[in-house]
Chain A
């Protein structure tokens, strides 16, 4: 079965604090994982793909196959990072399976 789990509905941190948004997956094949971000009243935007190993807006995510995790991290949160974050798995048939999403609130 293919599943993405984001255990936290809401993560609230102070500006400048480190951020870790958790994502665990279940997939029998070789996983391709993504993080999408949705700012208030805007569209879903691709933030990161694990295969490109990039850092966007200071965010990074490392695929850990042993723990079946793809946590999103940022060392110093900024207020403009406040948004809904979705972890997603590319499953067979080129379809994305989404987690439930985590709201990140960065407080000043």
Chain B
């Protein structure tokens, strides 16, 4: 069964550093997403991406965040200057159509120290 692949599985970074979280969505999927889950809290929507542009973003997704699809396969989330409160599990997801239900990656655990 096709999978969404995320790398790295765990990243530790110093406060103020930039991080890039990488995702390879399922190849025929057109919609891409990032979610995060702070330890002990709900899974929260960050951003959706379709047709090479952001289609929706949450209030969490401020100017420190950006997404990119640099080539035909990768979908990245960049945090420009990390803060302690950015520590969370970040999930990438993709879907073939809107409203179908996503396939999630296994997540990247980001720890900001």
Residues on A lying within 8 angstroms of B by beta carbon are 32, 34, 36, 42-46, 49, 86, 90, 93-101
Instruction: Let me know if B104 is at the binding interface, CB within 8 A.
Output: yes
* Contact between chains at A44 and B101 (CB < 8 Å): no
**Which bucket holds chain B's interface residue count?**
20 to 34
Partner of A44, one of B41, B42, B43: B43
**Do B42 and A99 touch across chains, with their CB atoms under 8 A apart?**
yes
Taking CB atoms, residues of chain B closer than 8 Å to A94 are 31, 48, 55-56, 98-99
**28 A-B pairs with C-beta separation under 8 A:** A36-B104, A43-B4, A43-B91, A43-B104, A43-B107, A46-B102, A49-B101, A93-B48, A93-B55, A93-B56, A94-B31, A94-B55, A94-B56, A94-B99, A95-B45, A95-B48, A95-B58, A96-B33, A96-B35, A96-B43, A96-B45, A96-B102, A97-B45, A98-B44, A100-B41, A100-B42, A101-B42, A101-B43
Q: Are B42 and A43 in contact (CB under 8 A)?
A: no
- Shortest beta-carbon distance from A36 to chain B in Å: 8
Neighbouring A residues of B105 by C-beta, 8 Å: 43
The answer for the CA separation of A94 and B48 in the assembled complex, in Å, is 8
Contacts beyond the supplied A90-B101, A93-B55, A99-B42: 13 A-B pairs with Cβ under 8 Å? A34-B101, A43-B106, A43-B107, A46-B101, A94-B55, A94-B99, A95-B33, A95-B58, A96-B45, A98-B42, A98-B44, A100-B42, A101-B42
Nearest 4 A/B pairs, CB to CB:
A93-B56, A44-B104, A43-B106, A98-B43
CB distance from B48 to the nearest CB of A (A): 6
Chain A residues, CB < 8 A from B104: 36, 43-45
The reply to whether the CB of B103 lies closer than 8 angstroms to some CB of chain A is yes
Q: How far is the CB of A90 from chain B (nearest CB, A)?
A: 6
B45 and A32 contacting across the interface, CB-CB below 8 Å: no
> Nearest Cβ distance between residue A38 and chain B, in whole angstroms?
9
